[in-house]
Amino acid sequence: MTRKTAQPAATPRLTFLGAAQNVTGSRYLLEAGGSRILVDCGLYQERDLLARNWDPFPVPPASIDTLLLTHAHVDHCGYLPRLVHDGFHGRILSTQVTAEIAAIVLTDSAKLQVEDAGYKRKRHAREKRIGAHPEVPLYTLDDVAATLPLFEPVAYDTPVAIGAGITAEFREAGHILGSSSILVGIGSGAARRTVLFSGDVGRWDKPLLNDPVAAAGADWIVVESTYGDRLHEQTGQIKEHLAAVITETRRRGGNIIVPSFALERTQEVLWYLNELIGLKRIPHLLVFVDSPMAVRVTDVFEKHPEILDEQMRALLANHASPFHFSGLKLVRTVQQSKAINLISGTVMIIAGAGMCNGGRVKHHLESNISRPESTVLFVGYQAVGTLGRQILDGRPEIRLYGQMHPVRAKIENIPGFSAHADRDELTRWLSGMQQPPRRVFVTHGEPEASAAFAKHVGEHFGWQAHVPAYQETVLLED
Ligand SMILES: [Zn+2]
Q: How close is the Cα of 26 to the center of ligand 1, in Å?
A: 10
Q: Which pLDDT score is estimated for 134?
A: 67
Q: How far is Cα 324 from Cα 131, in angstroms, rounded to an integer?
A: 45
Q: How far apart are the first and last CA of the chain?
A: 28
User: How far is it, in rounded angstroms, from Cα 28 to Cα 142?
Assistant: 26
Q: Ligand 1 centre and the CA of 247: distance in Å? A: 31
Query: What's the CA gap between 430 and 42, in Å, rounded?
Result: 24
Cis peptide before 190 (omega within 30 of 0): no
Gap from CA of 199 to ligand 1 centroid (Å): 8
If you measure from the C-alpha of residue 176 to the centroid of ligand 1, how many angstroms do you get, rounded to a whole number?
7
- H helices within 154-235, ranges in order? none
6 Cα to the center of ligand 1, angstroms: 32
Nearest to 417 by CA among 237, 210, 172: 237
353: cis peptide before it, omega within 30°?
Answer: yes
Q: For the whole model, what pTM was predicted?
A: 0.89
The pLDDT, as a whole number, for residue 117 is: 85
Ligand 1 center from residue 20 Cα (angstroms) = 15
- The sign of the dihedral angle between the CA atoms of 221, 224, 227, 231 is negative
**Cα 201 to ligand 1 centroid, rounded to whole Å:** 8
Name the residue among 412, 386, 413 with its Cα closest to residue 399. 386
Residue 414: predicted pLDDT: 92
Query: Rg for the chain (alpha carbons), in Å?
Result: 22
Beta pairing partners, 134: none
How many Å lie between the centroid of ligand 1 and the Cα of residue 443? 13
379: phi then psi, degrees, rounded to nearest 5: -125, 15
Ligand 1 mean position, distance from CA 289 (Å)? 21
Q: How far is the CA of 450 from the centre of ligand 1 (A)?
A: 16
CA distance 33 to 26: 23
* Cα 216 to ligand 1 centre (Å): 21
- For residue 341, the CA-to-ligand 1 centroid distance in Å is 31
Residues of the chain with pLDDT under 70: 1-9, 132-134
pLDDT one-digit tens code per residue, 380-438: 889 888 999 999 999 999 999 889 999 999 999 998 888 899 999 999 999 999 999 99
pLDDT tens digit sequence for 237-289: 899 999 999 999 999 999 999 999 888 889 999 999 999 998 999 988 999 99
Distance 23 CA to ligand 1 centre (A): 10
Ligand 1 centre to CA of 73 (Å) is 5
Expressed in angstroms and rounded, the spacing between residue 22 Cα and the centre of ligand 1 is: 14
- Cα-to-centroid distance, 74 and ligand 1 (Å): 8
Cα of 87 vs centre of ligand 1, distance in Å, is 26
What's the gap in Å between 266 CA and the centre of ligand 1? Answer: 14
The number of C-alpha atoms within 13 Å of 5 and in the hemisphere containing its C-beta is 5
